[in-house]
């Protein structure tokens, strides 16, 4: 749903979206990095509906994802970093698995 | 890092950066906090690193020298910091998973604005986004929406998006304007004010002309409904001016209904607010030096009435100068002399604003969501569900929140607060300026209990 206008000029980092490696430009937000590969949806609601980042500025909380095992992260505010594991957050997150300390 | 400051500024957009430059110049210990990872705010988002800095117009590249000046001004900048509570002399915030409290003699709130959320059926679908949001992706990550794109709404950002799409050759299936035709007549009463900023005014006319000539435009559109046909394919159904039902196909839909102050932080600080009748939103009331009704708490820029980046910079300078005066660094004559040129910019911006506010006034009927529109995105509540509770005898947003749960999710009512107030006012026949908004409570952002428990006590309370 979103495509790159210019070839990347900056340094590239590798992140893992749903386990798949992605080469992305350093410094962009996680939401921007996964928008294309995710087909625009980055979580499901407790009602099971697909949602994607809406405001890109930290207001709407639609971009909540699990980043490095920590649920409920606002993907539009978190810059990508080498080796980062990014997963869709489906339904209500499970806080029990990997604790809830920030990434 | 020290925890006692002369001034803490929340927000590193144009207003916050300018206020910081002025206070740091006079030697005041200045801390600037921002939720983003770099300074610039949304209007100058990533201007220091954007691959497209020379392709998005001079309004954007004008941010480059300002960000440089800010970085070198001597203020301490703390990025990725979420302010979650505020008082006249202290600020609580979370950064890198740790919460802290810091004290300041003056607190400046420069947290800006947001796109007005206007619920319509299908606005929660993947592939639908704010037009301003799409602009942020273009600036910060050089991303463009995949065509065909449909632009839908009312406001200068729709024109800007249409111009960008044309420039980058993104196919646009149509531009649907939701403003009333009569807006132009109302706006013309304020045309002399618009001429206070002839450059800006002509730039806007130029964008409008380019949009009308380069894109397929439809005016006075209503009853918009979005449906997903398959992955990355959406249908946009609408009614045109003559009452005919039409539809368009798109891969991406960008919505925009103007920009409003993001007032949760000023409501939390218990500042007095003013209802803007033309643009239908509440914003903090402040004098020309940004002083709110709460001593020690000031506002700068769009958080206290949306006037755009040029006004925000001048307001930021004025607030910074008056903080220096208040804290004994400038006497009144020095302050007034330094403020003179900024004051005249603010005056010109204020003169232009009534024209823009009338021309881009939201259409009241569009602010009443269709029955099946999801109003509270977090709790997935439709207009019909909320309307049932309202009709049973609910007269305030807080009451509706308690009974039906809108505003109880992670966004804390930022996305549904406007719509909920519009619905209650319409159904119960109440004037909107008499209707309180959701009460803002700390924490302003979700916070883990562990982080709260681990927070060191502020020095003066421990």
Contacts of B377 in chain A (CB under 8 A): 51, 54, 60, 62
Contact (CB<8Å) B140/A32? yes
Contact (CB<8Å) A2/B36? no
**Residue B38 to chain A, least CA–CA distance (Å):** 10
Average pLDDT on B29-53 reads: 95
pLDDT of residue A2: 83
Q: Are B113 and B283 in contact (CB under 8 A)?
A: no
* Lookup: tokens for A55: 């405001």
Beta-strand (E) ranges in B28-171? 30-33, 76-78, 81-87, 90-95, 98-109, 113-115, 128-130, 143-145, 149-153
Lowest mean pLDDT among A99-103, B90-94, B268-272, B318-322: A99-103
Average pLDDT on A43-62 reads: 96
Q: Are B178 and B366 in contact (CB under 8 A)?
A: yes
Query: By the CB < 8 Å criterion, does A44 face chain B?
Result: no
Q: Are B152 and B253 in contact (CB under 8 A)?
A: yes
pLDDT of residue B123: 98
Residue A96 banded pLDDT, cuts 50, 70, 90: low
Chain CA centroid to CA B305, Å: 9
Neighbouring residues of B86: CB distance < 8 A, sequence distance ≥ 6:
B10, B92, B107, B109, B265, B268, B269, B297
Residue B212 banded pLDDT, cuts 50, 70, 90: very high
Residue A99 banded pLDDT, cuts 50, 70, 90: very low
Query: By the CB < 8 Å criterion, does A81 face chain B?
Result: no
Contacts of A39 in chain B (CB under 8 A): 126, 231-232
Query: By the CB < 8 Å criterion, does A61 face chain B?
Result: yes
Residue of A56, A80, A96 to mutate, interface with B, max B Cβ within 10 Å: A56
DSSP letters, B238-287, are EE-TTS-EEEEEESEEEEE--EEE-THHHHHTT--EEEETTTTEEEE---
CA B313 – CA B297 distance, rounded (Å):
18
pLDDT of residue B432: 94
DSSP letters, B152-210, are EE-SHHHHHHHHHHHHTT--EEEEEE-S-THHHHHHHTTHHHHTTSHHHHHHHHHHHHH
Chain CA centroid to CA A59, Å: 16
Does the structure show a pLDDT above 90 at A94?
no
Which of A3, A49, A101 lies at the smallest CB-CB distance from B146? A3
Average pLDDT in chain B: 96
Closest CA to B241 of B154, B181, B172, B162: B181
Helix (H) or strand (E) holding A16: strand A12-17
CA distances from A69 to A32, A66, A86 (A): 19, 6, 8
Residue of chain A minimizing CA distance to B80: A77
Does the structure show a pLDDT above 50 at A102?
no
pLDDT of residue A1: 67
* Lookup: tokens for B399: 């009451």
Q: Which residues, in sequence order, are bridge partners of residue B274?
A: B283
Does the structure show a pLDDT above 80 at B461?
no
Residue of A3, A5, A35, A93 to mutate, interface with B, max B Cβ within 10 Å: A5
Residue of B45, B48, B141 to mutate, interface with A, max A Cβ within 10 Å: B141
Peptide bond into A20 cis (omega under 30): no
Contact (CB<8Å) B232/A40? yes
Residue A100 banded pLDDT, cuts 50, 70, 90: very low
Average pLDDT on B296-317 reads: 97
Which of B37, B125, B446 lies at the smallest CB-CB distance from A72? B446
Does the structure show a pLDDT above 80 at A6?
no
Peptide bond into B443 cis (omega under 30): yes
Query: By the CB < 8 Å criterion, does A98 face chain B?
Result: no
* Lookup: tokens for B388: 């049932």
ipTM higher than the 0.90 cut: yes
pLDDT of residue A92: 76
pTM of the model: 0.96
Contacts of B410 in chain A (CB under 8 A): 61, 64, 72
B407 — alpha (psi -120 to 50), left (phi > 0) or beta? Answer: left
pLDDT in tens, B213-222: 999 999 999 9
Contact (CB<8Å) A59/B127? no
Tell me the percentage of chain B whose pLDDT exceeds 90: 95
Average pLDDT on B225-252 reads: 95
Average pLDDT in chain A: 89
pLDDT in tens, B154-194: 999 999 999 999 999 999 999 999 999 999 999 999 999 99
pLDDT of residue A8: 67
Closest CA to B14 of B59, B80, B78: B59
Tell me the percentage of chain B whose pLDDT exceeds 70: 99
Query: By the CB < 8 Å criterion, does A39 face chain B?
Result: yes
Does the structure show a pLDDT above 80 at A39?
yes
Residue of B135, B143, B171 to mutate, interface with A, max A Cβ within 10 Å: B143
Helix (H) or strand (E) holding B222: strand B222-230
Query: By the CB < 8 Å criterion, does A21 face chain B?
Result: no
Q: Are A32 and A41 in contact (CB under 8 A)?
A: no
- Assign 3-class secondary structure to A33-99: HHCCCCCCCCEECCCCCEECCCCCCCCCCCCEEEECCEEEEECCCCECCCCCEEECEECCCCCCCCC
Residue of chain A minimizing CA distance to B127: A40
pLDDT of residue A101: 43
């Amino acid at each position: 749903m979103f495509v790159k206008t210019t070839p990347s000029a900056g340094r590239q980092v590798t992140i893992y979206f749903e386990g798949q490696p992605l080469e992305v430009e350093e410094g962009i937000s996680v939401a921007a990095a996964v928008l294309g590969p995710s087909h625009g949806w980055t979580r499901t609601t407790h009602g099971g509906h697909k949602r994607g980042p809406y405001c890109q500025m930290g207001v709407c909380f639609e971009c909540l994802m699990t980043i490095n095992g920590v649920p409920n992260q606002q993907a539009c505010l978190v810059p990508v970093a080498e080796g980062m594991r990014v997963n869709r957050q489906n339904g209500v997150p499970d806080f029990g698995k990997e604790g809830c300390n920030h990434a | 890092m020290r925890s006692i400051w002369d001034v803490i500024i929340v927000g590193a957009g144009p207003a916050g950066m300018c206020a910081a430059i002025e206070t740091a110049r006079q030697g005041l210990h200045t801390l600037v906090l921002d939720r983003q990872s770099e300074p610039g705010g949304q209007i100058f988002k990533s201007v220091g690193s954007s691959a497209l800095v020379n392709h998005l117009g001079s309004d954007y590249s004008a941010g480059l020298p300002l960000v440089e000046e800010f970085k070198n001004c001597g203020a301490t900048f703390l990025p990725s910091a979420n302010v979650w509570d505020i008082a006249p002399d202290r600020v609580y915030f979370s950064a890198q998973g740790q919460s802290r409290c810091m004290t300041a003699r003056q607190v400046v709130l420069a947290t800006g604005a947001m796109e007005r959320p206007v619920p319509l059926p299908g606005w929660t679908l993947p592939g639908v986004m704010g037009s301003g949001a799409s602009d942020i992706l273009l600036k910060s990550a050089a991303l463009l929406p995949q065509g065909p794109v449909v632009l839908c709404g009312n406001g200068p950002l729709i024109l800007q998006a249409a111009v960008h799409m044309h420039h980058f050759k993104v196919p646009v299936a149509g531009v649907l304007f939701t403003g009333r035709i009569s807006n132009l007549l109302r706006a013309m009463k304020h045309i002399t004010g618009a001429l206070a900023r002839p450059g800006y005014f002509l730039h806007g006319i130029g964008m409008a002309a380019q949009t009308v000539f380069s894109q397929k435009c439809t005016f006075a559109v209503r009853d918009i409904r979005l449906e997903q046909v398959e992955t990355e394919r959406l249908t946009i159904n609408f009614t045109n001016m003559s009452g005919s039902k039409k539809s368009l196909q798109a891969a991406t839909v960008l919505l925009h209904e103007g920009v409003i102050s993001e007032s949760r932080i000023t409501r939390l600080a218990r500042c007095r607010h003013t209802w803007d009748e033309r643009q239908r939103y509440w914003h903090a009331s402040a004098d020309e030096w940004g002083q709110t009704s709460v001593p020690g708490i000031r506002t700068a820029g769009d958080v206290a009435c949306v006037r755009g980046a040029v006004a925000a910079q001048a307001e930021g300078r004025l607030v910074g100068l008056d903080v220096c005066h208040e804290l004994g660094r400038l006497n009144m004559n020095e302050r007034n002399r330094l403020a003179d040129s900024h004051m005249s910019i603010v005056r010109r911006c204020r003169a232009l604003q009534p024209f823009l506010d009338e021309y881009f006034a939201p259409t009241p009927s569009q602010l009443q969501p269709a029955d099946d529109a999801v109003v509270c995105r977090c709790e997935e509540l439709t207009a019909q569900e909320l309307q049932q509770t309202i009709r049973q005898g609910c007269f305030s947003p807080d009451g509706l929140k308690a009974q039906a749960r809108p505003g109880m999710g992670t966004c804390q009512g930022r996305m549904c607060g406007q719509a909920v107030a519009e619905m209650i006012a319409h159904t119960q026949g109440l004037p909107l300026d008499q209707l309180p908004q959701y009460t803002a409570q700390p924490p302003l952002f979700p916070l883990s209990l562990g982080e709260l428990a681990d927070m060191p006590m502020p020095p003066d309370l421990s």
